[in-house]
């Protein structure tokens, strides 16, 4: 005959089973949270770079600034629309997990063209910040692709 356990020994091992079931979910939530923080940080850097590029272009100080504030592998596009300059920065955010697809964050800034400023429109700049005569940037394989 099998004797039943009574009292505190009856729950023996249940914590281990609950931990084994709950730990993967906790790790997944941690990775999702860290990816979200990385995305927000990258978007903030993109917004700073787009704002600086729009202001520099509106002042006539260059095609899109030097791109030093842009995150790695970011692509910036500057468009002139009448008396407004629009700068858009797109950057990939790698999900923590390696095999997951990268997310893309986008930030856009608009500035009014200052009177008397000579503005060059249609330039595309990546995070390397070097613009060739065709308006397309290549800093040695940074991986940026214009729109």
Q: What is the pLDDT of residues 38-66, one digit of tens each?
A: 999 999 999 999 999 999 988 887 654 55
Bigger pLDDT: 31 or 10?
Answer: 31
Residue 29's pLDDT is 92
pLDDT in tens, 92-116: 998 877 777 888 999 999 999 888 7
User: What is the model's pTM?
Assistant: 0.66
Residue 82: both structure tokens together? 């009448």
Residue 44's pLDDT is 94
Cα–Cα distance for residue pair 68/33, rounded to 1 Å: 27
Q: Check whether 129 has a pLDDT greater than 80.
A: no
User: Nearest CA to 62 among 115, 130, 140, 144?
Assistant: 130
């Amino acid at each position: 005959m099998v004797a039943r356990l009574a009292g505190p020994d009856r729950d023996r091992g249940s914590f281990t089973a609950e931990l084994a079931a709950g730990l993967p979910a906790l790790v997944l939530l941690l990775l999702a949270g860290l990816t979200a923080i990385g995305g927000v940080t990258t978007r903030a850097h993109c917004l700073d770079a787009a704002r600086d590029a729009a202001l520099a272009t509106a002042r006539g100080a260059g095609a899109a600034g030097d791109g030093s504030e842009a995150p790695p592998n970011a692509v910036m596009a500057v468009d002139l629309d009448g008396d407004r300059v629009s700068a858009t920065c797109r950057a990939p955010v790698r999900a923590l997990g390696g095999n997951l697809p990268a997310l893309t964050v986008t930030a856009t800034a608009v500035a009014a063209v200052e009177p008397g400023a000579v503005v060059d429109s249609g330039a595309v700049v990546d995070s390397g910040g070097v613009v060739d005569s065709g308006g397309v940037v290549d800093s040695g394989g940074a991986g940026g692709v214009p729109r």
